[in-house]
Amino acid sequence: MAALTLTALLDHAAEQNGENLALIASGGPHLTHRELHGAIKKAAAQLRRAGVKPGDLVSLAFPNTLEFVVVFIAVTRARAIAAPLNAAYTEDEFKFYLEDAGSTLLLVPGAEGNKAAEAAAAELNLPIAGVHWEKESGDVVIVPKRKIELAPELEVSSMSSYTDEALFLHTSGTTSRPKGVPLTQANLASSIQHIKAWYELSPSDRTLIVMPLFHVHGLMAALLSTLAAGGTAVLPAAGRFSASSFWKDIKTNSVTWYTAVPTIHQILLKVHKSHPEAEYPKLRFIRSCSSSLAPAVLEDLQESFNAPVLEAYAMTEASHQMTSNPLPAHGPNKPGTVGKPTGIELAILNDDGEIQKPGVVGEVSIRGPNVTKGYRNNPDANKTAFEFGWFHTGDRGFVDEDGYLTLTGRIKELINRGGEKISPLEVDAVLLSHPAVSEAVAFGAPDAHFGEEVNAGIVLNKGANATEKDIQEFCKKNLAPFKIPKRIFFADELPRTATGKIQRRIVAEHFLKDTSKESTSG
């Protein structure tokens, strides 16, 4: 089969399902596939007028809005590279990501903007434009804010190449430098086709987007796969997940399925147990991904909401989905596993790159058309991640006789907070920049709500004083809220191995075995 592109998939969906609703903004516009397609083409032309050329990288700092959906796809249609960013980043974080990605333009919401992102872009001398929806014309309008002069109207070719880089995301690694993941039009198209086929998505499907669209989970599994299937994506009025309006949005918009991280599922279960709905709508399925879902929670979800819950396994480097449990008609749902490979080749490898037999634990490795060819700006990471012709996930697990994958742990030291992957070394660097801190080690601690929370062990400089609150307030200036340590343990020294090395696992065990060591003063 010839390599497809994201652009071609969305063009085909618009042609086949033109009058079907593509996008519902709760409390706002409802766009058919034909209308959305037209708005995207016009936005792509505006981007070209603003100086965006094929291969340019355009950063976007938005909540989940109609404007983001239109302009994100428009960037890829203009044969440029879209780089969505968490709108909650600090100015320093924006500056790093903009500079590391090689951004040529920053796009922000037209009305409210994004103060931190714009300040970072201005410091880097980058052009900035605002994006807003114009009710009168029914189009997205791109308005120059800094260093942009609009050229005359230009035609935008839709002849995207499958080799065109279309999406650029950063994923935290075990080094202090986050890894840049470039994904091509073909990578994205391949992943979307796998997701569509696995869950049998069709024009009659509707999904409520509760995951942030700067995250590959929400972008690929919820938004783009739904649009490519000719279905309807529903954007919550708040622009994000809200437990209080979740079921109302589901019912009002006849939603047929949703995908989320375990944290969101647990919130919904908590609300259900305290204030259950009189009746729950019939969903085709519920999908869980981005961190492990406990079998007991999966079973509780199925019983409470009367829908099959399908756990999946995904990574940014694979354009999201790698494995998933199947729909009931296609095989058993095995709680505790993350299902079977979906359109990719998967193997469990030992340290020598040899494929292990069913039941034998090793490193989960994959290859296929949805997998990135390598990290950008990180040659050391490429050496270890792409050995033996496979992409090494850094996760350990085994495959059973039926082909279902069970994950047993992580080789990497990433902290997985509700699906957000956090590099502990990034947190270390901020903690160590505090004038009162001598030594600091961040680590993941078990958490009933998020799966893992960021904790840290700290040694203060001799004679220095600082409270837990002091340290956390300091972190707020340099880290996004979800990266700030929830608990800080103060000590005279940090535990070390026999050779004098500090290992996060040992530090975590040392502090977490005795919570009386927790302190709020040094």
User: DSSP assignment, residue 389?
Assistant: G
247-287 pLDDT per residue, tens: 999 999 999 999 999 989 999 999 999 999 999 999 999 99
Q: Domains plus CATH for the chain? A: 6-311 (3.40.50.12780), 415-517 (3.30.300.30)
Question: Is 1's pLDDT higher than 50?
Answer: no
348 vs 471: CA distance, rounded Å: 42
What would the pLDDT profile of 178-226 be if each residue is shown by its tens digit?
789 999 999 999 999 999 999 999 999 999 999 999 999 999 999 999 9
Strands 232-235 and 21-25: parallel
The chain-wide mean pLDDT, for the chain, equals 92
Q: Tokens for 199, please give them.
A: 């869950």
In sequence order, what are the residues at sequence separation of 6 or more whose Cβ sits closer than 8 angstroms to the Cβ of residue 509?
Answer: none
> Measured between alpha carbons, how far is 130 from 114 in angstroms, rounded to an integer?
10
Exposure of 504 by Cβ count < 10 A (0-12 exposed, 13-18 middle, 19+ buried)? middle
Amino acid at the residue 245: S
Query: Does the model's pTM come out above 0.75?
Result: yes
Dihedral angle sign, alpha carbons of residues 295, 301, 307, 310: negative
**Which residue do the tokens 């259900």 mark?**
272
Q: How confident is the model at residue 500 (pLDDT cuts 50, 70, 90)?
A: low
Residue type, 175: T
DSSP characters over 261-295: -HHHHHHHHHHHHHS--SS----SEEEE-SS---H
Distance between CA atoms of residues 153 and 284, nearest Å: 45
From CA 363, how far away is CA 296, in angstroms rounded?
A: 26
Q: Return the half-sphere exposure (C-beta side, CA atoms, 13 A cut-off) of residue 195.
A: 33
Cα distance between residue 181 and residue 83, in whole Å: 10
pLDDT tens column, 419-430: 888 888 889 889
pLDDT at 516: 40
CA distance 118 to 94: 9
DSSP 224: I
Q: Which helix (H) or strand (E) holds 316?
A: none
Residue 107 has pLDDT above 80, yes or no: yes
What is the rounded CA–CA span in Å between residue 471 and residue 455? 12
- Alpha-carbon distances of 512 from 191, 207, 487, 505, 519, rounded to whole Å: 40, 40, 10, 10, 13
**Concatenated DSSP letters for 447-492?**
ETTTEEEEEEEEEEPTT----HHHHHHHHHTTS-GGGS-SEEEE-S
pLDDT digits (tens, 9 = 90+) for 434-490: 999 988 999 999 998 999 999 999 999 889 999 999 999 999 999 999 999 999 999
Cα(441)–Cα(434) distance, integer angstroms: 13
- Report residue 155's pLDDT band, with 50, 70 and 90 as the boundaries: low
Residue-level pLDDT at 517: 42
Residue 519's pLDDT is 37
What DSSP letter does each residue of 400-428 carry, written as one string? -TTS-EEEEEESS--EEETTEEE-HHHHH
- Please, which pLDDT band fits residue 515 given cuts at 50, 70 and 90? low
Q: Please provide the DSSP assignment of 128-172 as one string.
A: EEEEEEETTTTEEEEEEEES--PPSP--------TTSEEEEEEE-
**How many Cβ atoms are within 10 Å of 104's Cβ, its own excluded?**
18
Six token digits for residue 212: 């942030």
What distance lies between CA 402 and its chain's CA centroid? 29
Residue 228 and residue 14 in contact, taking contact as beta carbons nearer than 8 Å: no
Rounded Cα gap, residues 156 and 173, in angstroms: 37
pLDDT tens digits along 314-373:
999 999 999 999 999 999 999 999 999 999 999 999 988 999 999 999 999 999 999 999
